[in-house]
Amino acid sequence: MSDESDRTPVTDGYVVPIAGLMALLFAVMAGLTAPRAFSGDPADALLPIGFAVGALAALRFRQQYAAASADPAPDETA
């Protein structure tokens, strides 16, 4: 029996687009909550800042995963 290690998992192609959509969602939520932060209490600024950090983190995750999946492991048959 073989473990079929040469095959990629089915979910391999979905991580990058979903992470991009999550980054877009966080960026939109940060934009929607920004007016309340500018016109209200300084503590209200934490919500859009948190959404912006979430968007940046999702973009960074997407970038790292795309680079890792695009760069195959080097062949060690030397």
pLDDT of residue 76: 58
When pLDDT is cut at 50, 70 and 90, the band that residue 60 belongs to is very high
When pLDDT is cut at 50, 70 and 90, the band that residue 40 belongs to is confident
What is the pTM (predicted TM-score) of this model?
0.70
Average pLDDT value for the chain: 82
For residue 63, how far is the Cα from the chain centroid?
7
**Radius of gyration over every alpha carbon of the chain, rounded to an integer in angstroms:** 19
- State whether residue 5 is helix, strand or coil: coil
Q: Would the pLDDT of 10 be above 80?
A: no
